Amino acid sequence: MEPLFGVVLGLILAVASPAHGSCTCATNKWAACAQDGPGNCTCRLAGSDHPVDCSTLTSKCFLMKAEMIPLKEKRLWRPPHAVSDGDGIYNPDCEDSGVFKARQCNQSSTCWCVNTAGVRRTEKGGRSLNCSELVRTRWIYIELTHKRSSNAFHAPDVAKALTQLFESRYKLHPKYIAAIKYDPPLIQIRLDQNKKPRWDVDIADVAYYFEKDVNNDSVFHSNSKLIVLVNGDALAIEKLWIYYVDEKPPEFCMRQLAAGISAVVTVVVLTAGIGITVLLVLRWLRTRTYKKFECKEMREIKAPSLE
In this predicted structure, the answer to whether residue 72 has a pLDDT above a threshold of 70 is: no
The phi-psi region of residue 39 (left if phi > 0; otherwise alpha if psi is between -120 and 50; otherwise beta) is: left
Render the burial of 25-54: b for 16+ CB within 10 Å, e for the rest. bebbbbbbbeeeeeeebbbbbbbbebebeb
Per residue in 227-252, is it b (16+ CB within 10 Å) or e — as a string?
A: ebebeeeebebeebebebebeeeeee
Q: If you average pLDDT over every residue of the chain, what do you get?
A: 77
Q: Quick one: what percent of the chain has pLDDT higher than 70?
A: 71
Statement: 137-246 belongs to CATH 3.30.70: yes
Residue 169: what pLDDT?
95
Give the number of other Cβ atoms within 10 Å of residue 144's Cβ. Answer: 20
CB-based contact 193:48 (threshold 8 Å) = no
In this prediction, residue 66 carries a pLDDT of 81
pTM, rounded to two decimals: 0.68
Per DSSP, 129 falls in state -
pLDDT 10s digits, 190-212: 999 988 888 999 999 999 999 99
Q: Between these two residues, 143 and 259, which has the higher pLDDT value?
A: 143
Q: Which residues contact 36 (CB under 8 A, 6 or more apart)?
A: 42
Give tens-digit pLDDT for 244-288: 989 988 887 644 444 445 555 566 667 677 878 877 777 777 776
